[in-house]
Structure 1
């Protein structure tokens, strides 16, 4: 079980880390809300095809559809739309720092909605990880301009992060009620895409589609890997280890994005960024490592030389 959970965790981290590069090919002639709608509509079609091939049940009660629609609104629609608005005011690095606060939001929301006690090492790990990701993106944090646009982008990013955290809580709730992850995601993505199409219609956005190969390949990658596989891995993990632990993936995947940027976009690492990565890894250990293994590591002989009688 532990090995499978680790595989799910790193699958989500590495796939989502790579989607930042793929999203660049989506920006252009197609409005962002339509590109997101296309992404989740295609992902839903893939999931429904999988359900049909595997004979998975697709009949659910009306109230279950309501909860799946709420999950879709929070995870596959509203949060993406708000973050696209925020990118008009802030750089992607700043948004990554802000979005990483979902770790703390999930800890607090898990305590509020599921009565989960706040573990001290978990909170410490979240704070260490947030400090680390802030150091990694420090040049962008330091250059934040004190103006109305920056404040608007900051507030939008926090709102989008909080909505995504609520989506995490909804997924955890749905899994506790025995709603399967694959079907919940399929219906949730359908509802999210429909809401985005409706929003575009109300706003008078002209329906557009780009036939270029980069746009279509990146759309397919975002739908299949970034949506079907990454969300499936992450939300399954969320149901197993809890939203507060699973959310630490959001601190790690910006580092994967920077690794890809190093290879393809000539990103240059600094000493401060390297220190930030070390803190992110330390925070990951504090949050993810089982308590018994952490205690065993702390009590290993090399750390007990000052008091050998213990």
Structure 2
């Protein structure tokens, strides 16, 4: 399926699965902040997700035997998509409000367009580019109160640099996955191995920092870990990378604009978030951008 092809029912289902799985991940991440270092939580998250992903691959009859050259690509995928971007965002979050994290990550919808053109030779769809830009501006408006309260100092600049680097890392992983799918490497096998290598790399980073690998056995932490490992990782990444291969990295990345909307809806129900006029205007912009990205292209 090309990047300009019509969405099928399967594509809409994959898209909805991504948006809701990652939309609820924000509250799960909130419950993980505490006694366990962030990078260690990333290790346990993907240590849980990787064997499940590989088990799905085996049940689907997919081969799990690949030459070393392919494993080198799995390492690259793991570093970009399942390690570096998470660590950078966790540490960027020490300096920035969560709303700004969402705004920066929503740049994926624009960065994927540029990287897709540069790395994959994908044509730039003006409608998708306009939708991605509109969505980014909408997310910025939705989180305007947090952005307005951000003081631009050295710490904020460090956080900004870390999160932009994390977003580029995520998008680079998108390109690696797209190339793998062109080589007929399945999403489940590639992601499973990528998660193993990503977890291993993050574990080395945690060990270098002297972090404790002890698990918080409280029900809140364990439930949030299970959600992030099984729903936020296995389900969401399987849906996202499959959708990326079907419709292109540019349109698939618009899900990074949509899931903060779900996150705010969850926050409204559980944390008493109050919608402001800028947030409502931003919501309209995000939905308008969504229509631009997802609607069927005009016939020539």
TM-score (norm 2): 0.95
**Where do residues 72-111 of structure 1 align in structure 2 (5 Å cutoff)?**
72-111=78-117
1:125-151 deviation per Cα after TM superposition (whole angstroms, max 9, x unaligned): 111111111110011111121211111
- In structure 1, the residue matched to 2:4 is none
2:40 to 17, 31, 34: 34
Distance 1:13 1:54 in 2: 25
- In structure 2, the residue matched to 1:45 is 51
Tell me by how many angstroms 1:263 deviates.
Answer: 0.4
- In structure 1, the residue matched to 2:227 is 221
Tell me by how many angstroms 1:50 deviates.
Answer: 2.7
Contact 2:62 2:186 survives alignment (8 Å) = no
1:136 to 142, 165, 168: 142
Contact 2:178 2:249 survives alignment (8 Å) = yes
Q: Does 1:57 align with 2:82?
A: no
Contact 1:136 1:273 survives alignment (8 Å) = yes
* Further displaced range: 258-267 or 24-33: 24-33
Aligned length: 294
Q: Does 1:199 align with 2:205?
A: yes
- In structure 2, the residue matched to 1:264 is 270
| Gaps in structure 1 of 5+ consecutive residues | 296-310
Q: Does 1:4 align with 2:35?
A: no
In terms of Rg, which structure is larger?
Answer: 1
Contact 1:128 1:279 survives alignment (8 Å) = yes
1:189-242 deviation per Cα after TM superposition (whole angstroms, max 9, x unaligned): 000001111111122222221111111111111111000000000000000111
2:288 to 282, 288, 297: 282
1:151 to 134, 148, 157: 157
Tell me by how many angstroms 1:48 deviates.
Answer: 2.5
Q: Which runs of 4+ in 1 moved over 3 A?
A: 51-55
Distance 1:103 1:162 in 2: 11
1:142-163 deviation per Cα after TM superposition (whole angstroms, max 9, x unaligned): 1121211111111111111011
Other structure's SS at 1:165 match: helix
Contact 1:33 1:200 survives alignment (8 Å) = yes
Change (3 A) 1:141 1:180: same
- In structure 2, the residue matched to 1:166 is 172
Contact 2:56 2:188 survives alignment (8 Å) = no
* Structure 1 vs Structure 2 CA RMSD: 1.3
Other structure's SS at 2:155 match: helix
Tell me by how many angstroms 1:188 deviates.
Answer: 0.4
TM-score (norm 1): 0.92
Distance 2:206 2:133 in 1: 38
Other structure's SS at 2:46 match: helix
| Gaps in structure 2 of 5+ consecutive residues | 1-6
- In structure 1, the residue matched to 2:184 is 178
Tell me by how many angstroms 1:54 deviates.
Answer: 4.0
Q: Does 1:67 align with 2:73?
A: yes
